[in-house]
A and B are shown apart, each in its own frame.
Chain A
């Protein structure tokens, strides 16, 4: 098949001899490519926010505060990486806040029941995987649009967590029967510092982001996620089994939601099924969308998602440092999400026209 690269007959038109020059002219210089990249706008917005906060507050640039921001965004970030896979594949998952609660509290209950740490953690991740599997199967083979399917499981999972815990808080401490050594190891995951400086949560986030980037942009699986989200028909025609790809994206999402829930319980060893992770799905989806992913699928990058997470994290941190009331903060965060996405859409439109 490789032979006969040029089977075309000699052509009479002028188009071809020029093609070699034209190909050269089409090479875009690095700087232009950087300026044209989708992430550049988000990055600039982040820098502007950072500069403003550096000038108007005393503590923003202190390493304590920056590491603090890093820790605060980590759980959100871990889930946003999962959401990137789901949204690029053309689906959405609203149940992530509930999965976060069930995964964390479930793991906590296993620890209190006397399970060893590693089996309890793995079991917690399995909870997440099963939830992802259910969401994925419902949205593909079950033909329920994922917006509705996961709206349903959002409630089902939250209810299950309430039944499981009887609505009572789950508190991991020695008084409730946790082994002190195990407790120390568990709390290290959420409260510890790597090399004494870097919060463990941030370590997890960085690791998840790195693995997510590798999976999404360097493997065949990641490519299939883009193909499926870009055109399910084209993917099918090319031999991609669309449901499998989407289900795996949901499973990744479930596992990461559960991981974030577990880390959250390890940080603050008490949680309640009625409150933990309530409304979290909005922040997660917002971070991914601010990061440039499309709600219709096929578009998005891990770098963009990380920047989106940073924007939301820095914004919340900045509002606190500026002493703005928590009520006003909610208004501001909502507005920033709308403005960020609107600017992105406007600039894309003018670029393509």
Chain B
């Protein structure tokens, strides 16, 4: 190690009941480098970051800062050392304004009885937001009004608004559009040029290859290797390290389903669906047996579409499923008509975190599992087991709390819950957000076999590879409307992005 390391982790081990989350992990970080950490879910990346953040203390092992041993016993110690963490799960105060959230750390560092200069701090916050390209967000607007993507940028702005020596970004762009991701990269490189060390945890291997100076791979709680990024490092090599065996590059994604596969019946028809200030007069048909992808930048309206169709938002327009017109603003009616919805916000809207696997699986079809008001426990276990097997969810037992599962397995359980009702239409919003490569492939396979059996699938996603490789048809949203549709070989990244960046006026011209 010729270069000086600013932070070093030596032989750190941490166990949780039944799991070895970190197994004798050693790694060093150099001053001013961009160091990516990759690995499948459950590889130990998050535990590692939580140790550095002071949220979790290791069972054994040491941490050295500037060559001196320094136990990080609490988040405050970590922050005093100049370590700033942006976690994947948003940790913002929804009750405060955008600017207040950006300056949370700065205000936290002030003495308790000291005056808050809101004018000056408002300008500081605006400055930080501008660095991330958020010119159109006023610092005094409530945070709760922002999209998840914008909130994520607010969280990053907060991290860099303070003295930072080591910035840890945990899947920072899982909700960002390509343009916002580009801006984030500029900021990361700029921080690096100022001598800041960046630890970048990601599933996006392509990005890691572009951005990182060094790449460390974790698997099953162990540090597998650290590579100097360069010509010798390829995507295939990283994947091989991650999963512990080699696969051919195309094996990552299954082949696209046949573009002409659907010529069944119309499963769902949407006519002139509008939600004030989000989407305008959206009309389309969803066919049996097709996977219809919906792409678009974060403020295009695509993130509102699913909620509007499902009836979570006040809307106008008509939606028909199998000849039944849905009552507006009533999700139970949509379910009864044959729709299932897998929302994007897995931990918030998706799972019942405090309940177990079996309870989650059957929760949307509860009345089918009761007799005279009593739960039919045998039937519940049998059905849950059947779906767990079908989707190959890896669980210890049906009684396991869902909060203890990895993201990929949680997503399978949510999918199972959506399928228990026997839907005609399956609507997914960000179906593979924050889950690892292996689990993604499995989910795509499941979706494909469902479509082959005649289910109509609407997949709304920010991840272009997912849309491009797994949709039989793609609608691109921009500026609150459907800007265009693509089929078959026309579905390319360039075509999607050119539609996604158009405005309504341009289309008219």
Chain A interface (Cβ within 8 Å of chain B)? 1-2, 4-9, 11-16, 18-20, 22-23, 26, 215, 218-224, 226-227, 229-231, 233-241, 248, 297-299, 353
How many angstroms from the CA of A7 to the CA of B105 in the assembled complex?
Answer: 23
- B378 interface residue per 8 A CB criterion: no
* Among B76, B104, B107, B194, contact of A234 (Cβ-Cβ < 8 Å): B104
Contacts of B501 in A (CB 8 A): 12-13
How many angstroms from the CA of A237 to the CA of B78 in the assembled complex?
Answer: 10
Does B186 contact A7, Cβ atoms closer than 8 Å? yes
How many angstroms from the CA of A173 to the CA of B158 in the assembled complex?
Answer: 60
* Among B114, B158, B187, contact of A7 (Cβ-Cβ < 8 Å): B187
Does A229 contact B115, Cβ atoms closer than 8 Å? no
Does B92 contact A234, Cβ atoms closer than 8 Å? yes
Given known A11-B179, A16-B135, A239-B79, contact A230–B96 (CB-CB < 8 A): yes
- B111 interface residue per 8 A CB criterion: yes
- B314 interface residue per 8 A CB criterion: yes
What is the chain A residue whose CB lies nearest that of B144?
Answer: A352
Given known A223-B100, A226-B93, A230-B96, contact A15–B136 (CB-CB < 8 A): yes
A6, A20, A229, A234, most chain B CB atoms within 10 A: A234
Contacts of A229 in B (CB 8 A): 95
Does A14 contact B503, Cβ atoms closer than 8 Å? yes
Docked complex: B62-99 residues within 8 A CB-CB of A = 75-76, 79, 85, 87, 91-96
Contacts of A13 in B (CB 8 A): 179, 501
Write the nearest CB–CB distance from A235 to chain B, whole angstroms: 7
- B183 interface residue per 8 A CB criterion: yes
* Among A26, A227, A248, contact of B108 (Cβ-Cβ < 8 Å): A227
Does B127 contact A2, Cβ atoms closer than 8 Å? yes
What is the chain A residue whose CB lies nearest that of B314?
Answer: A353
Docked complex: B203-224 residues within 8 A CB-CB of A = none
How many angstroms from the CA of A233 to the CA of B85 in the assembled complex?
Answer: 12
Those 9 A-B pairs whose CB atoms lie nearest each other, nearest first: A230-B93, A298-B95, A220-B110, A230-B95, A238-B104, A221-B112, A234-B91, A19-B135, A19-B136
Write the nearest CB–CB distance from B275 to chain A, whole angstroms: 10
Write the nearest CB–CB distance from B151 to chain A, whole angstroms: 11
- B294 interface residue per 8 A CB criterion: no
Does A26 contact B141, Cβ atoms closer than 8 Å? yes
Contacts of B349 in A (CB 8 A): none
Does A223 contact B107, Cβ atoms closer than 8 Å? yes
Docked complex: B221-242 residues within 8 A CB-CB of A = none
Write the nearest CB–CB distance from B84 to chain A, whole angstroms: 9
How many angstroms from the CA of A23 to the CA of B112 in the assembled complex?
Answer: 33
Given known A1-B160, A239-B108, contact A231–B92 (CB-CB < 8 A): yes
- CB-defined A-B contacts under 8 Å, sample of 12: A8-B182, A9-B186, A15-B136, A218-B115, A219-B114, A220-B110, A227-B100, A230-B93, A230-B95, A235-B93, A237-B87, A353-B313
How many angstroms from the CA of A248 to the CA of B158 in the assembled complex?
Answer: 26
Contacts of A15 in B (CB 8 A): 136
Q: Which range holds the interface residue count of chain B?
A: 35 or more
Given known A13-B501, A239-B79, contact A220–B187 (CB-CB < 8 A): no
* Among A5, A231, A237, A248, contact of B130 (Cβ-Cβ < 8 Å): A5
Does A236 contact B116, Cβ atoms closer than 8 Å? no
Does B95 contact A299, Cβ atoms closer than 8 Å? yes
- B332 interface residue per 8 A CB criterion: no
How many angstroms from the CA of A220 to the CA of B100 in the assembled complex?
Answer: 11
How many angstroms from the CA of A226 to the CA of B95 in the assembled complex?
Answer: 8
Contacts of A218 in B (CB 8 A): 115-116
What is the chain B residue whose CB lies nearest that of A26?
Answer: B138
B112, B127, B194, most chain A CB atoms within 10 A: B112
- B255 interface residue per 8 A CB criterion: no
* Among A8, A22, A224, A299, contact of B183 (Cβ-Cβ < 8 Å): A8
- B133 interface residue per 8 A CB criterion: yes
Does B190 contact A7, Cβ atoms closer than 8 Å? yes
Does B112 contact A237, Cβ atoms closer than 8 Å? no
- B396 interface residue per 8 A CB criterion: no
* Among A4, A23, A231, A240, contact of B136 (Cβ-Cβ < 8 Å): A23
Docked complex: B334-362 residues within 8 A CB-CB of A = none
Docked complex: B414-434 residues within 8 A CB-CB of A = none
What is the chain A residue whose CB lies nearest that of B138?
Answer: A26
Beyond A8-B182, A238-B105, list 6 extra A-B contacts (CB 8 Å): A8-B133, A16-B136, A221-B112, A238-B104, A239-B75, A297-B95
Contacts of A4 in B (CB 8 A): 131, 190
Contacts of B96 in A (CB 8 A): 226-227, 230, 298
Contacts of B95 in A (CB 8 A): 226, 229-230, 297-299
